[in-house]
Amino acid sequence: MDITLPILILAIPISMFLILGIGGVKMSRKTAGVLGILGMGTTLTLAYTVAFTYFFSGDPAFIVDGVRQQLQVFDVTWLAFTDTLVVHLGFLLDPISAMMLVVITTISFMVHLYSWGYMEHEPGFQRYYSFLSLFSFSMLGLVVATNIFQMYIFWELVGVSSYLLIGFFYKLPSAVSASKKAFIVTRFADLGFLIGILLLSFYTDTFNFMELTHNPEGVLASTGGATFMGASVLTWALVLIYVGGMGKSAMMPLHIWLPDAMEGPTPVSALIHAATMVVAGVYLVARMFPVYLMEETALLFITCVGAITAFYAAVVACCQIDIKRILAFSTISQIAFMMVALGVTRPGLHDGMGYMSSMFHLFTHAMFKALLFLGAGALIHAVHSNNYTEMGGLRKYMPITHWTFLIGCLAIAGIWPFAGFFSKDEMLTAMFANNWIWGAWMTMVAGLTAFYMFRMYFMVFWWEENPHYKEHKPHDAPWQMSVPLIFLAAVSCVSGFIPFGELVTWNRLPYHIHIDPQVATTSLIIAAFGIGLAAWLFMKRNHKPAAMKNAMPGLWKAANRRFYWDEFYMFVTHKIIFNIFCRSIAWFDRHVIDATMDGFAKVTQKTSVAVKGMQSGSIQAYVVWYFLGAVAVAAITWICLL
């Protein structure tokens, strides 16, 4: 493949970042917005061209005997530390990276367009667009990485751009602390990632994904059966790499940053904290999947973490009031769903369908979750509050938002024929194939998903009208915001029918999707039950929800406070780490290290005070001292020579 398009896909967003970042202050809002949208639009066109050429051209460079090829469009040496330790930067084209190119550019373009309306009156509009471009560049660089080190570099870059965008309203203390929290938590997780990379590359002598994944047996053999604390070194490396993914993808116990990240502008939440950056962990596992298959312990770890996180986040989402927080926990839960689907994948079970379904869900989830977030943005734009208690009965005032939001909710709940039904059904089938426990557990989570999404839907659009509407009548958003909503809603309606199995599978062979009627019926019934329960409780104003809340105040409060994870972290960091470790270290620093340095300074000072009288200003005194000194030197020399 010609390298012009791949290079431009990366070059346009980064140059947009530089142009808007450096020249933004001189530009009007309109120029900056149009430039950003045009830049992203061009990138979108190029990425679609590349992805569609890859998938549908049938070129023997891309597909040989039905097997889709992995190819490095370019791979240049970036840093050569030694002969063997060399870091490359390149562009890897294979089914999952081509799919991610489509997802990222689509969502990013929609968000660029939407932000033009949403951020219209915010100060720092140009800065916002330059950060969006930086993020798009970093995320595109991450998915096309040819080696794990390049991925790590871009992994950190998306972390930085996420930090910058969460803290966009830098005058709000809550936004500042949320951005710090996100950065520190993910950075902490990336420590595990880095150790994992070093461990893996130490044994295999390579960072390159193709070398690793085309010969996983060789990777296993290269560790030579070394073990550490009862687990093999390869398991350790893979689990540590996955810890990096846990940080970015907000798996328990590193999920605490994602709900707070909702302090950022809503379109940013849609782009980064719902559709693209947070699925980087899933993408990482998918990218290294053949290696993970060598160590089923690591896959079991992924499955367990995912299953627990999915259930936890779903329960918490049932008891939140802030609509963006509900969506944030829903994101955590859905990503955990993908993780479980990856974790249960075995080549022998339905030809590794879990992998395909996980990527399928990544794709559909990106579309409908971005839709839901952008819808939430439109609601917040109209009502000027994040809490559903300030909303209610909005369906008459905001018809476009209402219908698109409903489509998003139906898609995430997994109702036929919306996108979520297909991907979720495939995932559940894969889980049941592995072990019925995973299947049953995740079906329950799917039911909870339907319940909390429709709880929010009914509380926002039905329930009871807020009396404030008479003074300040809410209305649908401007066209820049409505167009992305309608587009994403349309995608959420039809993307389930994409023959995803033909395009993306773990071994890159086509897989023909067929719906398992038993699993599909069960999940549909469960979802319908969740929706029905939500409708019964929240459609009209009544006392049932309050009565339920009062019946179990402890549980409600615990779930509302997210089961006290933040308090637990506060306790560990402030009471234990700060109080015990940091204080003793500070004491040592102050009383030993500083005191030594202070001692040197004091001795010097005392000495100079004592001898400063010698500098009297009297030349004759100096001459006397000089003369005596010269005599002394002469005398000593003479004695020595004798």
Report if residue 619 touches other proteins, rule: CB under 8 A: yes
For residue 182, give the nearest of 264, 99, 82, 64 by alpha carbon.
264
Tokens of 595: 């005191």
How big is the chain by its Cα radius of gyration, in Å?
30
Q: Which of residues 281-340 bind other proteins (CB under 8 A)?
A: none
> Quick one: which of 350, 488, 326, 526 has its CA closest to 426?
350
624 near other proteins (CB under 8 A): yes
Which residue is associated with the tokens 């002469």?
Answer: 634
Q: Which is nearer to other proteins, 198 or 621 (CB)?
A: 621
**Residues touching other proteins, count (CB under 8 A):** 11
Q: Is 364 in contact with 423 (CB distance < 8 Å)?
A: yes
Which of residues 611 and 639 has its CB atom nearest to other proteins in the complex? 611
- Straight-line distance from the first to the last Cα atom of the chain, in angstroms, rounded to the nearest whole number: 89
Cβ 623 to other proteins shortest distance, Å: 6
- Choose, by CB under 8 A, the member of 620, 638, 641, 642 that binds other proteins: 620
Nearest distance, CB of residue 613 and other proteins, angstroms: 8
Burial annotation 285-313 (CB, 10 A radius, 16+ → b, else e): bbbbbbbbbbbeebbebbbebbbbbbbbb
- Nearer to other proteins by C-beta: 577 or 623? 623
Q: Which stretch binds other proteins (CB under 8 A): 167-175, 256-264, 276-284, 621-629?
A: 621-629
When asked if residue 617 is in the footprint of other proteins (CB under 8 A), the reply is: yes
Instruction: Give 93's strand partners.
Output: 71
Burial of 4 per CB tally in 10 Å (0-12, 13-18, 19+): exposed
Pair 259, 323: CB distance under 8 Å: no
Strand partners, 63: 68
For other proteins, the binding residue among 589, 615, 634, 636 (CB under 8 A) is 615
Query: Could you give the CA distance from residue 498 to residue 507 in angstroms, rounded to a whole number?
Result: 19
Using the contact rule CB under 8 A, the part of the chain among 115-123, 329-337, 580-588, 617-625 near other proteins is 617-625
Which one of the spans 4-12, 371-379, 392-400, 614-622 is the region binding other proteins (CB under 8 A)? 614-622
Min dist. Cβ of residue 632 to other proteins (A): 15
Token pair for 203: 């044994």
Name 232's Cβ contacts closer than 8 Å, sequence gap at least 6.
223, 225, 226, 295, 297
Q: How far is the CB of 618 from other proteins (least distance, A)?
A: 5
In the complex, what is the shortest distance from the CB of residue 126 to other proteins, in angstroms, rounded to a whole number? Answer: 58
Least separation in angstroms between residue 163's CB and other proteins is 53
Q: Which is nearer to other proteins, 551 or 619 (CB)?
A: 619
Cα separations (Å) of 517 from 159, 195, 444, 473, 514? 41, 44, 18, 46, 9
Residue 173 interacts with other proteins (CB under 8 A): yes or no: no
Residue closer to other proteins, measured from CB, 82 or 620 = 620
Q: Which of residues 554-613 bind other proteins (CB under 8 A)?
A: 612-613
Q: How far is the CB of 621 from other proteins (least distance, A)?
A: 9
User: Considering the rule CB under 8 A, would residue 625 count as an interface residue with other proteins?
Assistant: no
Q: Which amino acid is at 300?
A: L
Out of 11, 616, 629, 637, which residue is the one contacting other proteins (CB under 8 A)? 616
DSSP code at position 171: T
Q: Which residues bind other proteins (CB under 8 A)?
A: 612-613, 615-620, 623-624, 627
